Amino acid sequence: MSTLRTLAFMALVCCGLTATAQGVKENRIVASPEFSKYTISRHIYGHFSEHLGHCIYGGYFVDENSTIPNTRRIRTDIVDALKKIHIPNLRWPGGCFADEYHWNDGIGLRANRPKMVNTHWGGVTEDNSFGTHEFLDLCEMLGTEPYICGNVGSGTVEEMSKWVEYLNFDGVSPMAELRKQNGHEKPWKVQFWGVGNENWGCGGNMTAEFYADQYRRYATYARNYGDAKLMKIAGGANSFDYHWTETLMKNVPLNMMWGVSLHYYTLAGGWDKKGSATTFGENEYFSAMKACLRMDELVTKHSTVMDRYDPEKRVALAVDEWGIWTDVEPGTNPGFLFQQNSLRDALIAASTLNIFNNHSDRVRMANLAQTVNVLQALILTDKEKMLLTPTYHVFDLYQVHQDAALIPLAVNTKDYVFGTEKLPALNASASRDKDGNIHLTIVNIDPANAIDLQVDVPGTQTLKASAQILTSDKFTDHNTFEKPSALKPVAFAGVKKTGESVGLKIPSKSLVVITLAK
């Protein structure tokens, strides 16, 4: 049990709320606003866009003569949709692509930019028309902070050092002059920098010890210029590799890292057969939910390792690749990782974000993979058509948690039982925003059973309750280009507030967001 949950249960007991002859009500959530200590960083709600499939080309970035509405080739409807949910940061150019990307190839006149082969994703030829300037143009349109991942696998210390100088130095230097020649007088002051990606795998197949030494080299020459203090993120562990995290925390001075990354993908099956995104039964549904909820174990154990070296929690855990990974849609390029997005995936996103919120003492950045047309995408496109996936709607509903004060919860829930296995049916997180409004995001993963739930929030006698819900008839339901709004949030009238308590029957396979406002 996490520290926050322990505190919440202690508060529950001290208040006498559990001291009944019958014990705790089977399905009950008790909030403890008085124990609020941490802020849910908005950067937990970050995203990831790699040069992979049709995320960039055919996603954000349209052809030069395209009739799809765009600004400097950046697709307008995608920008508008992402601005609506206030994405706080965007990670680029990879992913595995980052460690074969040479930034100099993506600047200057597009006609003069050398082409390259994307060896990781489909073996396609990239024309480098979307490069540094285009990415930062996109970020400015979105009003989001760029998070750039540097090339450690096939690059050099000098290459990354000069990229930082090109972007951030406001003075006289070769890189600053080159930036000005390419049309950008003032520096962008990019602060989030990843020093390599998955260096245990596609980023160089390194050992933890070798990478820790490489990180120190690269980080040394990635300089701070002016007030653009770099927030450097070390390439962290693959899933359950606690040795990797231990090695970084032990061998890299804490003042050289803003964060350590962690990558984990939810798989309904195994890596060889991940399963369909839209055609699956309860066996695959349960398996995916079980894998999703293991994120809590991962974050807890990696945080425990970090605590041994950093008890003051100065270094963030940045889960900068996460989401469900399924088989590609039939008939599409297997190297493009295009998959549909069902109600199941929305519940996975909501449950994962609840986990991150509840670990906001250590988790201060996360990036869903990926934003457009790849893996658990927020947005799918087909030429001029565009749709918002159920996962997009989760991020829309959850934006109320950005930079809000985490409220610890005690969650007592029945189990979702499948065969001989079981999982907690409910998971939740809560926060108080700057205006004093309280938001609870509650997920019922049980695909068949609604749950009678009582939610107690001390000190809210005068607040009024309202709610929204995201659900559908089947966990395989999804939005299509023919029916792009089949799944979307709607008002939920099934909440009743009495004093400091809210009662509701939370439907099966649903996300309910409760707002307590003045």
pLDDT of 229-241, one tens digit each? 999 999 999 999 9
Positive or negative, the Cα torsion across 46, 49, 54, 57?
positive
Residue 14 has pLDDT above 70, yes or no: no
Nearest to 211 by CA among 190, 181, 236, 177: 236
The CA-CA-CA angle for residues 212, 187, 59, to 5°, reads 75
pLDDT at residue 21 in the model: 29
Dmax over CA atoms of the chain, in Å, equals 78
Helix ranges (H only) for 111-151 are 132-142
| pLDDT surpasses 70 at 174 | yes
Neighbours of 93 (CB within 10 A): 26
Share of the chain above pLDDT 90, in %: 94
Give the model's pLDDT for residue 6: 41
Catalytic residues: 198, 321
Q: Percent of the chain beyond pLDDT 70?
A: 95
Q: Domains in the chain, please, with CATH?
A: 3-38+407-517 (2.60.40.1180), 42-405 (3.20.20.80)
Task: Tell me the average pLDDT across 340-366.
Answer: 98
5 has a pLDDT exceeding 70: no
- Residue 10 clears pLDDT 60, i.e. is over it: no
In the prediction, which pLDDT does 201 show? Answer: 97
Q: At what angle do helices 343-358 and 282-309 cross, to 10 degrees?
A: 20
Sequence-separated (6 or more) residues with CB below 8 Å from residue 106: 113, 128, 130, 131, 132, 134
Q: Give pLDDT, residue 25.
A: 59
State pLDDT tens for residues 478-508. Answer: 999 999 999 999 999 999 999 999 999 999 9
* 379 φ, ψ (degrees, to nearest 5): -135, 135
Residue 18 has what pLDDT?
Answer: 33
Compute the distance between CA of residue 390 and CA of residue 290 in angstroms, rounded to an integer: 20
pLDDT value of position 225: 97
Torsions phi, psi for 286 (to 5 deg): -60, -45
Calculate mean pLDDT across residues 283-299.
98
- How many Å from the N-terminal Cα to the C-terminal Cα in the chain? 33
Q: Does residue 20 have a pLDDT over 90? A: no
Query: What's the whole-number mean pLDDT along residues 51-61?
Result: 97
Residue 270 — pLDDT band, cuts 50, 70, 90? confident
Which residues lie closer than 8 Å to 416 by C-beta, 6 or more apart? Answer: 286, 289, 422, 423, 424, 425, 445, 446, 447, 449
Tell me the pLDDT band of 193, cut-offs 50, 70 and 90: very high
From CA 439, how far away is CA 516, in angstroms rounded? 6
Q: Has residue 13 got a pLDDT over 70?
A: no
Query: Mean pLDDT score of the chain, rounded to an integer?
Result: 94
Band (19; pLDDT cuts 50, 70, 90): very low
Is the confidence at residue 264, as pLDDT, over 50? Answer: yes
Interior CA angle at 177 toward 171 and 183, to 5°?
110
449, burial (CB in 10 Å: exposed 0-12, middle 13-18, buried 19+): middle
Query: Left, alpha or beta for 122 (phi > 0: left; psi -120 to 50: alpha)?
Result: left
H and E: helices and strands count for the chain: 10, 27
